[in-house]
Every structure is written in structure tokens, then in C-alpha cells.
Chains A and B, each alone.
Chain A
């Protein structure tokens, strides 16, 4: 059975070019970049080259790039740094639809006595800019808003929000883990102070992340230790993975056009095809302000885990915002924040594509998906007698 991987917002295939470039650093090139001898020095040169490649993808200066272990560490570093650099300020602004890396951290801060404002989103998953500027006060230490939502792909106007934050003298951070490599980003032309990204979402391996810290931003390290990363993140550099994320960023820059033209086209074909073939299916999230690779679709009256297992039997790998898949009993906090009705939230499926996906794969999904939904709806007690049933009786 062929594997059709359309779960690229969960993780991505490590690009073969990345593996190839990493491999010498697991064997012969094992020097410590901090060493004084040539053997470590040559590794240091390549680490700095990787830093330049990462900076290149997002329009940053190499000195503004700090390597971390993952996106979660980057998010934690950004928010904790802002709080530590502004000891008198006790207010944090974020949104209701953040990734757990931010959501659960601010939940923890709330218990520690910080005041946290989680901005609501509308039915399409969009933020209100008026709300953002209204909510910032003199007590606000940081505004942290994700660039692209992992479940729906909806994009937030983070550059605009950064301008508002800047004008009020507040640090702005964005969790751009889902955005980097999928949409063009130029930090040189923005007011964003800090940005998190993760290697394994853009065809580097798991275990490497980056935090961008704009020059001049007050910063306090999260992991305290040696002088690595200019004393901004202790711990011996994870050299092979740094080399890997550098290569992945270079590839991502080259693939941006493919992502925004061909992959977007495949996503649209898949989405439109499913909407057309399957009654009572609804796209979650604004269809314009969205990543080119993501589609979250709800199939009413069926449950997401069942759909995923049937898809999995056909070799198709996707995700769901259903309660049952997560081990929690409630459906995704993102869909709930958007007010997606329960009839739809439990049956939501997320397809997230990459440059590796082909048209044949999309055609195959379009072929197997309708009978899967039909089969599960035939078992569902809610489908019988519903208005939609008569329209699909043919």
C-alpha cells in the first residue's frame, strides 16, 4: 500500500538533501564549534553558514537567529524573556486559538498571578484589529499572536499587530511555526520583535527550532549555561540538526513558489472536490486569509477518528480536530473558539500538503473519501432523517 502523507502541519518528511548534508556531522565532522582548533573551527563555519541560510528565508540578520531545540522552546523563551525583561508588567495578550506551546504556557502564567487576555476569533477564525489595540495597556509585557493557525491554516495580520504593539512600546512575538516556509516572510520590513519557527515543519528533522530576536530587543535567556549562541541559549550546539535546518530553509526559499502555486492548486482541487462530492461538508476558517497547503473540512454527523482510521486503511495520513483523536473529550479548542457547531467539530478533518504531494494522490483521496463518509453516515443515528439525506438519496 502506498503512503499518501497529507499531514504536513503535524510533521514533514526530512528532505533527502537535508539528510545528506547532515550526515558527515554524525561521523567524521564531530568537532565542537566552540573549540579553538581547526577541527572545531571548520564546524563553526558551517554552523554560521546555516544561521545565514535561516536568516535568509525570513529576511533577518544572522545575529538575530538563535538555535533552540524546538518550536515550543522558542515560544517559551520569547514569552518568558519578555516577562523577565519587564519585571513590573503583569499582563500578557494572546489569542484563544494558539498552539498548546503558547496556550498552556499562558495558562500556567495565569495560575502564577499574571493577567492574560486571550483574544477571540470570529466564525472564520479571524481576529479583530480593533480588539487588539483596545486590549493593550501600560501593564502589558508582551503580545504573542500566531502567524498561521495549525488546524485551519488561517493567517493573522501579525505585521499589523506588531505595528500596534510597537507604537505602544510592547514586545511582539509570533509563533510562526506553521507559516515559515509556506508564505513569504520579510522581517526586515516588519516590526516583529520575536518569532518562533520549527525545523520539522519544513523538512528538517524533529529536535531543532529557532527563535528570531530583533536586534535591540531586550532579551533574557531561557536556558542558562555556556557562552553558546552569544550567551542567549546555553548548551552545546546541536550541530547536525543546525546544518539540517539551514539546508531545509534554503530549500524552502526555493520551494516557496511551488508551495504558493502548485501546492495551493492541489489543495484547492482537493477541497473543492470534497465539497462538491460530499453533502454537508463545510470548510473551517477563512478561505482567503489562509496558508496555501491547509484545508480543514468538517463532515457533519460523522466522527473524525472513524474517518481517520478508514483513511489510514487506504494509506492516507491526515488529522482531525475531533475529541476522540486527542484523548481529550472535547473537540479542538480552535474550532470551538470559532464557534463551529458540535455537529461539525467532531467530524473535522485536516489535510495539510507539502511540495512532495502529487496530483495523483489528490485524485486518489477524492476517490476514496466519499464512500468512507457515506459508509459512516449510514451507521450514524443522526444522518437518518436529516434534511440532507433526501438530497443524497441518489
Chain B
């Protein structure tokens, strides 16, 4: 069973602004019956250009209905320019959170808003000129890019949670990975050039560096949990260590070792290191 917030439950049970605005100024329709959810948003502007009335009709699950209701409440009283700044994250916040697998419901809200505003202005949506990536759910490249950028997505699974893309037959997974890599590559480039490649270390240098890293970086962290780590030997790229104190009896000891010590050593010394625990 999904765990929904009280706000989601409340808006599902008593949705606000259900229906269709008569003589609407803007109409946005997204989703379809085959996709399993769809939203039709209609709004009317007053003489000052503010949204005076907004209504929705939604086919979908509780979170889709609640997201739609939230969207209408959020945009009423705003100018189009103000409304346009609303993101799916704002909808999620308004609802007090959504399960990961339901994020696409909030994205659907944002898309319906964009579609309705574009409809009012007589513009074409940028996504309409974009290639369809996911055939199963009809998701375009532009929609995927927007979701990645707006929500700082990093994995294929997240892209599916937010846009549904890739949730069907799976044949577009490679393309989505490609889009992710491209965007993340750009993001890194903006931050600055990649860190210089690690210099090649001699065996002695490597051992010294491993010792230093264990002592300065890893030991203090483990000590916080009442444990300690001792270097037993270094054979090639194998780092043999023994754990003492709380670490040795801790059920998470394997995880501590593998994920923490190893990644730290790889980050600060060299990429090939493998950490192994040995009995003393």
C-alpha cells in the first residue's frame, strides 16, 4: 500500500476546483487513457491578467487527483508569469511529499500548466518539436531533459519515476541513459574541469598514502562509532585490514568496509584498491 500524506488524502477525498472552466482562456491536456493518467486543466484570466478561475479533470490515482487539485489552488490569483515559475517540486511540497514512484503525478501537473499557458498564448510547446524517446508512454526528449534538469535526476530509475519514460518495454533505456550522461556531463563541465588524473604512485608512495589516509580520514570517522581500523598488510592492490572495537561486532561491518573504506581509499589513493578484512 502507498503511504500518502494527510494532505494527499485530504485532496483526494475532497478535491478542490473539479470540472471545466466555461469559456476558458487556456486549456492544457496531458497524459492519456493508455498511460493510466491524464489531466485536463482549464483557466480564466481576469482583467488584470491574473488567473481568476482554474479547474481540473483527472483520470488517475489518488496522487494524480491530489496533485491536480493542488495545482489549481496554487495558480489561482497568480499572473501567468508567476504561475509559470511553479515546478513539480512546488506541487510535491504543497502536498507534503509524494512516494518516489508517484513523482510523475506532480510532473503531469506542471506539464498541464505549461500546456495551458502555451495554449493561451497560441504558442507551440517546445516538447512538440522534440523526438519521442519512450514509445510506450509517449514521452519526448524535451520532457525527459526538463525533468532531469528541474529535479537534478541522476539515474534511469528516477527518470522513470518522474516522467514514466522507460517504464514499459524498456527499449528506450539506452537512449535515456544517453540523455542523462549528456546532461550530467554538461553539469560537470560547468562546475569546472575534471579533477586532474591521479598521478601514478610508486609502491612505497602508495603504501604511505594508504597509511596516511587510514589514519587521517578513516580512523576518525570509525572512532565516532566506537571502532577502529588497523592496517595489516598491503599486497599489490589488496589492502588487508583488521577491525576492532564496535566495528568488529557491528552487523554493518561489511558495509562499512566495502562502501566507506574502499571508496575513500580509491578516491584519495588509487582506483584499483580492494579492501579485505582479515582476522588478527
Contacts and interface: CB of A to CB of B under 8 A. Distances in A.
A301 to B, nearest CB: 7
Contacts of B250: none
A180 B36 CA distance: 34
Interface in A9-28: none
Interface string B96-128: 000001100000000000000000000000000
B43 interface: no
A68 B104 CA distance: 40
Contacts, number: 71
A322 B101 CA distance: 14
A380 B59 contact: yes
Contact of B101 (A301, A302, A303, A327): A327
Nearest to A320: B61
B18 A379 contact: yes
A329 B57 contact: no
Interface string B3-43: 00000000011010010100000000100011011111000
B57 A384 contact: yes
Interface residues of B, number: 30
B38 A382 contact: yes
Contact of A305 (B18, B38, B57, B61): B61
Most A CB within 10 A of own CB, among B13, B36, B38: B36
B33 A323 contact: no
B137 A329 contact: yes
Interface string A149-171: 00000000000000000000000
B168 interface: yes
B29 A324 contact: no
The prevalent SS among residues of A at the interface is loop
B226 to A, nearest CB: 37
B61 A303 contact: yes
B160 interface: yes
B228 interface: no
A306 B167 contact: no
B40 A381 contact: yes
B115 to A, nearest CB: 13
A342 interface: yes
A111 B84 CA distance: 47
A358 interface: no
A302 B59 contact: yes
A342 B33 contact: yes
Given A329-B168, A330-B136, A330-B168, A303 B36 contact: yes
B232 to A, nearest CB: 36
Contacts of B40: 381
Contacts of A384: 20, 57
The prevalent SS among residues of B at the interface is mixed
Contacts of B12: 306, 309
Contact of A309 (B38, B62, B160, B167): B62
Interface in B221-273: none
Contacts of A322: 36, 61
Nearest to B102: A324
A6 B39 CA distance: 31
Contacts of B60: 303, 306, 324
A331 B40 CA distance: 22
A339 to B, nearest CB: 13
Contacts of B58: 379-381
B57 A346 contact: no
A322 B63 CA distance: 14
Most A CB within 10 A of own CB, among B29, B57, B160: B57
Interface string A285-314: 000000000000000011101100100010
Given A309-B12, A331-B36, A379-B15, A303 B59 contact: yes
Interface in A314-328: 322-325, 327-328
B57 A381 contact: yes
A329 B164 contact: yes
A303 B136 contact: no
Contact of B160 (A323, A329, A331, A380): A329
Given A305-B61, A305-B62, A324 B38 contact: no
B45 to A, nearest CB: 22
A365 B34 CA distance: 28
B59 A382 contact: yes
A327 B2 CA distance: 9
A378 interface: yes
Given A306-B12, A324-B61, A346-B33, 12 more contacts: A303-B36, A305-B2, A306-B62, A322-B36, A324-B36, A329-B167, A342-B34, A342-B36, A346-B36, A380-B58, A381-B29, A382-B33
20 contacts: A301-B59, A302-B59, A306-B12, A306-B62, A309-B12, A322-B36, A322-B61, A323-B36, A324-B60, A324-B102, A329-B137, A329-B164, A329-B167, A330-B136, A331-B36, A346-B36, A379-B57, A380-B59, A381-B59, A382-B33
Interface of B: 2, 12-13, 15, 18, 20, 29, 33-34, 36-40, 57-62, 64-65, 101-102, 136-137, 160, 164, 167-168
Interface of A: 301-303, 305-306, 309, 313, 322-325, 327-331, 342-343, 346, 378-382, 384
Closest 10 CB pairs of A and B: A329-B167, A381-B57, A324-B61, A305-B61, A342-B34, A381-B40, A380-B59, A323-B36, A346-B36, A327-B101
